[in-house]
Amino acid sequence: MKAAIYHGVKNVTIEEIPKPELIPGSVIVKLMRAGICGTDIYAFNIDGPEMNVLPGHKFGHEMAGIVDEVAPDVEGIEFGDHVYVNPMNYRDPTPDLSREAGCSMAGSFAEYFRVEHAKYNYNLEKLDPEMPWELAAMIEPCAVAYETLTKHKITPDSKIVIYGGGKIGQSALALLKTMGVKEVIVTARNPLRGGTIEKIGGILCDTTKQPAPDFIKEYWGKGIGNCNEETWLADFTIDAGGWHGALEELIEHAQAASDIAVVALGMTQQKICEVDLVNKGISIHGAYAYTPEDCQEVIKLIEKAPENFAPLTTATFPLTDIVHALEEATDSTKHMKVLLDCEK
């Protein structure tokens, strides 16, 4: 079968490797679509090992496809089923390969994929055959965003701010709008992201025109914190951008007793003063990966309002054109989510 192999920065090749063999308890999935994640882009352009993508390995972890082979001892999964593959649970961790590294190098940029200990509602989710593959491929990044949202009790009247209008930020927006949240402010710096935010129903904060804190305070008004400091009135804020200073800014302007969720993989050190956390009474949560239950809820939400998720995908390239696809995905002014057609 064809598979993309990572050899280093700007060095990815399509190679012929053996198709995975069926073993007890496993299924083989013929992959239809695979999404390019920000971690894949980082590995391609900057540093693979920092993202747990090692030279000489397959990579990619966002995928959906059709069950192609089923081991005799597997129950409830049939040839031809349309499925989402959970890259966190497709096999057991090994002493030399952590669960995170196993996910990063799962190998969705390939024609076929083996799922071990295969079971629905664990590492596979059965999909409606009518769900477009472009939406099925968005389940994984939306599950990342959904796990972030579970850190806060959300109601239709919740005032939510998302710092960062990229793939995860806009996935969170699509989920929130489908959940019925009326007002979600999302920051962005380019017209493509801004247009998509407005198409989905978010409130665009164009940070090329106005700093986010100023915009948010003008839009919702200002509050007074426990120590007489000026705050915005957001109930819940999400750091989906990861740029330097973002977390400090979210803490500085946070409303008393509000929540902050961090899903961005920011790489810089930021200053956090304990007295600010105490005086404001805020909670900060890191959002790591997702559960099978998160994936199931995401599928329900995508089925409920597919029109909210369709704008998140902007291009699909053949698997054999992966280098071009990675180069295109790098340009956030041209693309949101870029997919690979694993049949081509």
What's the rounded mean pLDDT across residues 16-32?
97
Look up residue 240 and give its DSSP letter.
-
pLDDT at 269 over 90: no
Output the CATH code of domain 152-286: 3.40.50.720
| Alpha carbons 110 and 118: distance in angstroms, whole number | 19
Q: What is the mean pLDDT of residues 126-140?
A: 97
| Residue 73 CB neighbours (<10 A) | 9
Cα→Cα distances 85→77, 104, 170, Å: 13, 14, 22
Q: What percent of the chain has pLDDT over 70?
A: 99
Q: How many whole angstroms separate alpha carbon 138 and alpha carbon 261?
A: 21
Long-range contacts of 326-329 (CB under 8 A, 24+ apart): 326/12, 326/36, 326/40, 326/41, 326/44, 326/45, 329/36, 329/40, 329/41
C-alpha 55/C-alpha 5 separation (Å) is 8
**Mean pLDDT across the stretch 314-326?**
98
**pLDDT, tens digit, 9 for 90 and up, residues 138-173:** 999 999 999 999 988 999 999 999 999 999 999 999
Q: Residues 16-30: what's their mean pLDDT?
A: 97
For the chain, the structural domain boundaries read 2-140+292-341, 152-286
> Quick one: what percent of the chain has pLDDT higher than 90?
87
The CATH number of 2-140+292-341 is: 3.90.180.10
Predicted confidence at residue 242, as pLDDT, reads 87
Please compute the mean of the pLDDT values over residues 197-208 and round it to a whole number. 97
Find the mean pLDDT for residues 194-202.
97
Q: Is the pLDDT of residue 23 over 80?
A: yes
Per-residue pLDDT tens over the stretch 62-111 = 999 999 999 999 999 999 999 999 999 999 866 666 777 788 999 999 99
**Per-chain mean pLDDT for the chain:** 94
> What's the rounded mean pLDDT across residues 259-274?
87
Provide the pLDDT for residue 94. Answer: 67
pLDDT of residue 271: 84
Pairing of the two strands 230-231 and 183-188: unpaired
The full DSSP string for 264-289 is: S---S-----HHHHHHHT-EEEE--S
**Would you say the C-alpha torsion 99, 100, 102, 106 has a positive or negative sign?**
positive
> What average pLDDT does range 30-41 have in this prediction?
96
Mean pLDDT, rounded, for 47-54: 93
